[in-house]
């Protein structure tokens, strides 16, 4: 019983850490996918929570039933026809490797901006620490998220509580409803956001399910992870809405909100954003490495080194054109993947031994 509860908490931490990333921790993703739709963005957040739980459980169940070990095995099993499965697999791999490369570049830029040293220092620091964690395989993934996720929760809750204390007289339902919306298709935005995250997260759900082999712990871990993630997204979106339109001027909107609480809170937030960059880096490289292990039959540690060595030079490429193609393609295939996954589960897994 105690082991099952511990497993569930570890799974929840990995689930949260994989999805959060620097985009959510900074407030930038929340602004783009939810805040710009006004109060209706909260409906989108609830929809995402439901999708995380349902699709996360389906992916885990399929992985356990068919003994899958990586996201490419899941895609090739679930997605039909074969040509679309290959396309989905290819774009997903490109998306994850590009994500890892972008984070390396971001780490380099962050170190260069704040300390005035070469960006290669930041890139190599991120790559080296990621390598040390990833060589511990799934254990390393769990350990790092078991530290980062509670830290994230503490910092975000601290900022939220301080915000409530300083602004309790200006927070009301009417004010929230009166915040202008800048976009109207909140449902499509929410589906795209959930799809992005679920397909990307499958890279850790599949191998975790295979190694844990505990369906109940996986389910409770995914439920806990989704609920905590939804709570964090709710409070970030609330603070964002109450600071429209000022947040639109900043690349890190949450840092703008936190600046009124002093340098210490800002430093904590910057540190958390870097940790979430690190968490996403580890998750992306882990997912791709597991796929490489299955496709080319190479040892996992070798796959980790290869993935990082591929990501480092890519981090030096201009990403505007690359991302303008990969992100829209990934958004479309993630929606199609969710539909295929639901149909496959209902036909081949639900109620069958």
Give me the residue spans of the domains in the chain: 2-348
**Domain 2-348, CATH among 3.30.1490.20, 3.90.1640.10, 3.40.50.10680, 1.10.4160.10:** 1.10.4160.10
C-alpha R_g of the chain: 20
pLDDT given for residue 144 in this prediction: 92
Say how many C-beta atoms besides its own lie within 10 A of residue 110's C-beta: 18
Express each pLDDT in 11-22 by its tens digit: 999 999 988 876
pLDDT given for residue 322 in this prediction: 54
Residue 234 clears pLDDT 60, i.e. is over it? yes
Express each pLDDT in 26-49 by its tens digit: 788 888 899 999 999 999 999 999
pTM for this one?
0.90
Give the span between the Cα atoms of 352 and 249, in whole angstroms.
53
Give the span between the Cα atoms of 273 and 334, in whole angstroms.
26
Contacts of 284 (CB under 8 A, 6+ apart): 96, 97, 99, 100, 103, 200, 203
DSSP class of residue 242 equals T
Give the span between the Cα atoms of 242 and 264, in whole angstroms.
23
Q: How many residues does the chain have?
A: 353
Residue 318 clears pLDDT 70, i.e. is over it? no
pLDDT given for residue 319 in this prediction: 47
Mean pLDDT of the chain: 87
266-273: Cβ within 8 A, 24+ apart: 268/155, 268/158, 269/25, 269/155, 269/159, 272/25, 272/151, 272/152, 272/155, 272/156, 273/22, 273/25, 273/26
Residue 147 clears pLDDT 50, i.e. is over it? yes
Say how many C-beta atoms besides its own lie within 10 A of residue 206's C-beta: 27
Give the span between the Cα atoms of 200 and 283, in whole angstroms.
9
Contacts of 273 (CB under 8 A, 6+ apart): 22, 25, 26, 252
Least confident of 101-110, 156-165, 331-340: 101-110
Express each pLDDT in 236-282 by its tens digit: 999 999 888 888 887 778 888 888 888 888 888 888 888 888 998 99
Q: Is the peptide bond before 81 cis (omega within 30 degrees of 0)?
A: yes
Mean pLDDT, residues 1-25 taken together: 84
End-to-end CA distance of the chain: 24
């Amino acid at each position: 019983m105690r082991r099952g509860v511990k497993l569930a908490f570890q799974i929840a931490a990995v689930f949260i850490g994989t999805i959060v990333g620097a985009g959510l921790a900074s407030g930038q993703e929340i602004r783009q996918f939810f805040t710009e739709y006004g109060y209706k963005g909260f409906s989108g957040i609830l929809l995402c929570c439901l999708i995380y739980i349902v699709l996360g459980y389906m992916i885990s169940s399929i992985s356990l039933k068919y003994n899958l070990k990586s996201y490419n095995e899941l895609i090739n099993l679930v997605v039909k026809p074969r040509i679309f499965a290959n396309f989905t697999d290819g774009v997903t791999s490109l998306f994850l490797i590009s994500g890892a490369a972008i984070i390396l570049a971001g780490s380099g830029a962050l170190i260069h901006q704040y300390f005035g040293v070469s960006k290669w220092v930041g890139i190599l620091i991120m790559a080296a620490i990621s390598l040390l964690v990833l060589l511990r395989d799934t254990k390393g993934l769990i350990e790092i998220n078991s530290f980062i996720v509670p830290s994230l929760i503490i910092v975000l809750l601290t900022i939220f509580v301080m915000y409530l204390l300083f602004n309790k007289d200006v927070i009301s339902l009417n004010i929230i409803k009166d915040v202008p919306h800048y976009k109207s298709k909140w449902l499509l935005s929410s589906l795209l956001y959930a799809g992005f995250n679920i397909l990307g997260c499958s890279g850790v759900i599949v191998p975790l399910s295979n190694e844990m082999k505990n369906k109940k712990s996986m389910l409770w871990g995914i439920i806990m992870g989704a609920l905590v993630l939804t709570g964090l997204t709710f409070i970030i979106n609330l603070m964002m809405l109450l600071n429209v339109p000022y947040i639109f001027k900043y690349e890190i909107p949450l840092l703008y909100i936190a600046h009124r609480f002093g340098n210490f809170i800002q430093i904590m937030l910057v540190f958390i954003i870097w940790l979430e960059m690190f968490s996403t880096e580890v998750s992306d490289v882990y997912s791709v490495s597991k796929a490489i292990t299955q496709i080319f039959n190479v040892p996992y540690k070798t796959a980790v080194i290869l993935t990082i060595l591929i990501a480092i030079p890519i981090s030096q490429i201009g990403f505007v054109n690359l991302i303008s193609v990969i992100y829209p393609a990934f958004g479309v295939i993630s929606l199609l993947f969710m539909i295929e996954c639901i149909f496959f589960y209902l036909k081949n897994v639900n109620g069958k031994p």
